[in-house]
Amino acid sequence: MLDRLRMAEARFEEVSQKITDPAVISDNELYKNLMKEYKNLDPLINKYREYKTAMSNMTQARELLDEGGLDPEMKELAQIEFHENKEAVETLEEELKILLLPKDPDDDRNVIVEIRGGAGGEEAALFANSLFRMYSLYAQANGWKTEIISSNPTELGGLKEIVFSIEGEGCYAKMKFESGVHRVQRVPETESQGRIHTSTITVAVLPEVEEVDVDINPADLEFQYFRASGAGGQHINKTDSAVRIIHHPTGVVVECQEERSQFKNKDKALKMLYSKLYEAKQREQTDKIAAERKIQVGTGDRSERIRTYNYPQGRVTDHRIGLTLYKLEDILNGDCDEVFEALALADRTARLLKAQG
């Protein structure tokens, strides 16, 4: 571990010098890549330097104690210094092991999120809208940009489905554990008897990818153009601006109708298609490692029931890690960090245990 840390620190120093070089700064692509590497290494190197300081303090205290001849007060201070730094070293070692774990190459990507109503009809559609609002508020709190790609609203203000993108630093790292079945337990707005109903929706979080990440034969694509329509089927555009794309080898179908421009809708639909095909390829590779999937938190199984939102009790429970919080209103208002960070920690811990055998 120490050899890897020394090599990482040497690389960090090298990158730090390069990003101040005018020749590098003038090369936009090179500068961008080096800044990304600098940001990725920064937390590791800061933690490593804390570790080295604690190790040095612990060693000095140990040497003082070994020399002997200290008066009782100085000896007590040296013992306190030794034990405090020994505890710090042990804690920092564990933190460094986690930081040295291989990073998900998709963590820095933007995301495309799909929310679809499942069991529960109109109540599921209303809750789909609540989750869209939750993610939108969370994105806003992080300074991210949200943009709707496609939506199918209901007359009562719900959403049969909605697809939207979120752009911002570290989007996928924060959002990737949201894929799966979300369950809501509450008295529906449409229910007059006051009975608690259970409804479900599905969420899929896809990393947004570039064309170079996925190989698509243009001959495999079928483009369909039609008029966009709103809730209840009313036409909201008199031209065929909406775009549907079918990828025949896989049967994947995407569409976009939010923009007035056919060109913009086509561009958004293609982004969604690339992301879906990329995710399918990644999931196929992951599925081959069955043992690994058993210990991971899980980022792709859309049939897995991952979370329950219980309105009568004001409770949110994430079933994968056994986390229960009685702060439903806060979470639905976009205060999701406690849940997302607990999931990320569980995933890192599981990967660390696997790495240690």
In a domain, 234, yes or no: yes
Q: Tokens 């042990």 — which residue?
A: 90
pLDDT for 42 equals 92
The predicted-structure confidence for 83-93, as pLDDT tens digits, reads as follows: 999 999 999 98
Predicted model pTM: 0.71
Pick the more confident residue, 120 or 271.
Answer: 271
Region of poorest pLDDT, from 20-24, 166-170, 236-240, 255-259: 236-240
Taking each helix axis from N to C terminus, what angle separates 72-99 and 28-67, rounded to the nearest 10 degrees? 150
**Are 205 and 58 part of one and the same domain?**
no
Q: Which structural domain, as residue segments, surrounds residue 59?
A: 2-99
**Are 116 and 231 part of one and the same domain?**
yes
The Cα 275–Cα 121 span in angstroms is: 28
Specify the 3-state DSSP secondary structure of 72.
helix
The structural domain count of the chain equals 2
The predicted-structure confidence for 120-177, as pLDDT tens digits, reads as follows: 788 899 999 999 999 999 999 999 999 988 888 888 888 998 999 999 988 999 999 9
In a domain, 210, yes or no: yes
In a domain, 31, yes or no: yes
Pick the more confident residue, 106 or 306.
Answer: 306
Say which amino acid occupies 95.
E
In a domain, 92, yes or no: yes
Nearest to 119, CA basis, from 196, 199, 32, 178: 199
Q: What is the DSSP letter of 113?
A: E
pLDDT for 193 equals 66
Domain at 321, CATH number: 3.30.70.1660
pLDDT for 301 equals 46
Task: Determine phi and psi for 76, rounding to 5 degrees.
Answer: -65, -40
Give the dihedral sign, CA 131/135/136/137.
positive
**Are 220 and 327 part of one and the same domain?**
yes
pLDDT band (50, 70, 90) for residue 66: confident
In a domain, 105, yes or no: no
**Are 52 and 176 part of one and the same domain?**
no
Residue 178 has pLDDT above 80, yes or no: yes
**Are 85 and 39 part of one and the same domain?**
yes
The Cα 300–Cα 279 span in angstroms is: 8
Residue 290 has pLDDT above 70, yes or no: no
**Are 34 and 135 part of one and the same domain?**
no
The predicted-structure confidence for 304-318, as pLDDT tens digits, reads as follows: 789 999 999 999 999
Share of the chain above pLDDT 70, in %: 88
**Are 184 and 288 part of one and the same domain?**
yes
In a domain, 154, yes or no: yes
Domain at 59, CATH number: 1.20.58
Contact between 326 and 314 under an 8 Å Cβ cutoff? The reply is yes
The Cα 326–Cα 254 span in angstroms is: 37
Q: Cα 166–169–170 angle (5° rounding)?
A: 90
Contact between 257 and 162 under an 8 Å Cβ cutoff? The reply is no
Token representation of residue 236: 């909201």
pLDDT for 258 equals 78
| Close Cβ partners of 201 (under 8 Å, ≥ 6 residues apart) | 115, 116, 117, 118, 124, 127, 128, 131, 181, 182, 184
**Are 144 and 30 part of one and the same domain?**
no
Residue 217: strand pairing partners: none
In a domain, 355, yes or no: no
The predicted-structure confidence for 44-62, as pLDDT tens digits, reads as follows: 999 999 999 999 999 999 9
Residue 229 has pLDDT above 70, yes or no: no
pLDDT for 212 equals 62
CA atoms within 13 A on the CB side of 74: 10
Q: How high does pLDDT run on average in the chain?
A: 85
